[in-house]
Structures are given as C-alpha cells and as structure tokens.
Amino acid sequence: MVEAGTDSGRFHRLVTIVAELALLPFALALGLDLFITVERIFGETAGAAAGIVAAGAAIGLWYGFPRVRRLHVGHRERAMTRGQSQDRSNTPLHAKIEQMLTEARVVLPGAQALFGFQLAIVLTQSFEQLPTASMIMHATSLFLVAFAVVLLMAPAAYHRIVYAGEDSEDMHRVGSVLVTAATVPLALGLAGDVYVVVTKIMGSPTAGLIAGSLALVLLIGLWHVYPLVAVSIQNRGAK
C-alpha cells in the first residue's frame, strides 16, 4: 500500500511537471507569432519588441505570478479542500472551480481561432494593400486577442502550480478574475477587427470607426454591463 501510494505521488508530480513545461513552448510560439506580425508592419526592431513582450507576459502570468502567489500561500492552505463556500451560493467549491475552468475552456478555442485567422491575414498579399491605420489597428487587435488567450490559460496554470490541483477559495477568486478580465482585451480585439473589415468594405475609416465602436459597446454591454445589472436586480430582490 505504501509503495502504491508512493508511485501515485511520483506519477502526480511527473504529470504536474509535464503540464507546466507544456506552457513554455506555447509562450515562445506566441511571441514568435507576434514578431512575425509586427515585423511585417513596423520592421524587425518593433517586431522583436512585440514578441518579447508577448512571450514575457505569457511566461509571467503562467509561471511567475503563480510562483509568487505560492510563496504567500501556506502548504496547509494549499492542501485544504472545503466542501462548501460561505457566500450567497450553496454550490460546492469543487463544482464552482470546475465551472470556472470550463468557462475558460469554452471561450479559449474561439479566441485561439480568431488569433489564428488574424495571423493568417497578415501573411496574405492583400494585407499589404490596406491603409496604414487599418494595418496598425489589426496588429493591435491581434496583440489584444493574444493577451486574452494568455489570461484564459492562466487559471489552469495557477491551479496547478499554486494548489497542485486542489480546491481553494483563493483559486476560485483569482481564476474568476482572470477569466473575466480576458473578455476585455477580447472585446477590444474583436472591435478593432470590425473596424478593419468595415473600413475595407465601405472604403471609409469613419464607417469603420462607427461599426467598431458599436461592436465594442455591444460586447461590453452583453459581457459586463448586463450581468452586473442582473446581479444588482437579484440582490435587491433578495432583500
């Protein structure tokens, strides 16, 4: 029994190490993608700077931030699992964390697909025919979507590095903030691309600016304003 438990512990540590290391090439690839994009628009120096910033942000959020937090979270707290949270919901903590991670997994493929399409567009010949303002806006949107992808992947890394996969109120709180924060650069990136597309179709930067602004208002309204209003109404009704 002791040997089986020891083998299980070793396997768990091995899986944890492999999972952590898997994020490193992804961060480097993200940096290279940004380098390729920005280099085609602004030159090698700007491309190198953008690639370094993107890779640094990914490594910082996926490795640095969790390890800094782990220094301030005791081993006893990391190992502790609580069955129920004491807030307004009776949902078990384990279920809430699983729901939060599932929400991140649901949004992540869409953000990654958008990032892939944005990158592919930069490599086409027609991209070079866009106005400079549209090219800059597209590069900015690509960087924002890449940052959203980094934020969406951060909760899983935080959960694994800080708490070794165990449940914690802190894990749920930090993960929820990261997933919610990711929708802001994602909305900005989508709005920026709407500007580029509409400007290309209509031949008018003004039309593109109006369409992009409306898209941003719609996205922020649906993703942030409406939920906050619904929560406020629910809280008033509970009183």
Q: Is residue 217 part of a domain?
A: yes
| pTM confidence score | 0.76
Q: Is residue 221 part of a domain?
A: yes
The upper half-sphere exposure of residue 121, i.e. CA atoms within 13 Å in the direction of its Cβ, equals 18
pLDDT at 77: 56
pLDDT at 76: 52
From 36-40, 163-167, 196-200, 204-208, the region with the lowest mean pLDDT: 163-167
pLDDT at 15: 59
pLDDT at 49: 93
How many residues comprise the chain?
A: 239
Q: Is residue 203 part of a domain?
A: yes
pLDDT at 24: 84
Q: Are 104 and 112 in contact (CB under 8 A)?
A: no
Q: In this predicted model, which residue has the larger pLDDT, 231 or 180? A: 180
pLDDT at 14: 63
Q: In this predicted model, which residue has the larger pLDDT, 64 or 19? A: 64
In the chain, % of residues over pLDDT 90 = 30
Q: Is residue 35 part of a domain?
A: yes
Q: Is residue 88 part of a domain?
A: no
User: How far is residue 106's CA from residue 123's CA, in Å, rounded to a whole number?
Assistant: 28
In the structure, what pLDDT confidence band is assigned to residue 2 with cuts at 50, 70 and 90?
very low
* pLDDT score of 53 more than 90: yes
User: How far is residue 182's CA from residue 205's CA, in Å, rounded to a whole number?
Assistant: 27
Q: Is residue 80 part of a domain?
A: no
pLDDT tens digit sequence for 177-222? 999 999 999 999 999 999 999 999 999 999 999 999 999 999 999 8
From 24-33, 65-74, 135-144, the region with the lowest mean pLDDT: 65-74
Angle (nearest 5°) at CA 27 between 25 and 28: 65
User: How far is residue 207's CA from residue 203's CA, in Å, rounded to a whole number?
Assistant: 8
Mean pLDDT for the chain? 82
Q: In this predicted model, which residue has the larger pLDDT, 166 or 153? A: 153
Q: Is residue 151 part of a domain?
A: yes
Average pLDDT over residues 126-142: 89
Q: Which two tokens stand for residue 160?
A: 């694994």
List C-alpha distances in Å: 72 to 32, 67, 69, 157, 233: 33, 9, 5, 17, 37
Q: Is residue 60 part of a domain?
A: yes
Q: In this predicted model, which residue has the larger pLDDT, 87 or 166? A: 166
Q: What's the one-letter identity of residue 122?
A: V
pLDDT at 82: 45
Number of domains composing the chain: 1
Identify the domain containing residue 196 by its residue range: 2-74+95-238
Dmax (CA) of the chain: 73
pLDDT at 12: 56
Q: Are 173 and 82 in contact (CB under 8 A)?
A: no
* pLDDT score of 83 more than 50: no
Q: Which two tokens stand for residue 139?
A: 């590069």
* pLDDT score of 6 more than 80: no
